[in-house]
A = this chain, B = another copy of it.
Amino acid sequence: MTEQNHALPDADSFDPSASSLAGRVDQAVMDELLSIRSSIDNIDATLVFLLAERFKATQKVGVLKATHKLPAGDPGRESAQIERLRRLAEEAHLDPAFAEKFLNFIISEVIRHHEAIAEGHQASIAQA
């Protein structure tokens, strides 16, 4: 989806203690804040790699749909997904409305990809 990153030149440039609050807060409060933020940073890295894996899967679906001329969206599938994610969110004590908003956010990106794959597929057929 993006070009290979060979050097990762910025790997050491992230400052986990970057904050507009620096110097304006007690050190003990800042230490507690940074400790929680370090867990958030670990979770965010996991989310990015997991989302990358999800888009690898939906990319395969996009190629399958383009090859067989199927529509980019699948409303029957989407409503089953939303109902399941709302239930899982309740189990995880996450706001189900947020889980639904999150899935819609992801699905709209996926559909955009599927349409791009389908257009590319049509263009390559036209050229052949």
Contact = CB atoms under 8 A, between A and B. Distances in A.
Interface of A: 1-2, 4-5, 8, 10-11, 13-16, 18-22, 25-26, 29, 32-33, 36-37, 39-41, 43-55, 57-58, 60-61, 64, 68, 70-71, 74-77, 79-81, 83-85, 87-96, 98-99, 102-103, 105, 109
Nearest to A97: B2
B44 A87 contact: no
Contact of A94 (B16, B55, B71, B102): B55
Tell me if A's interface is mostly helix, strand, loop or mixed.
helix
Number of copies: 2
A37 to B, nearest CB: 7
A101 to B, nearest CB: 8
A77 B44 contact: no
A58 B40 contact: yes
A94 B51 contact: yes
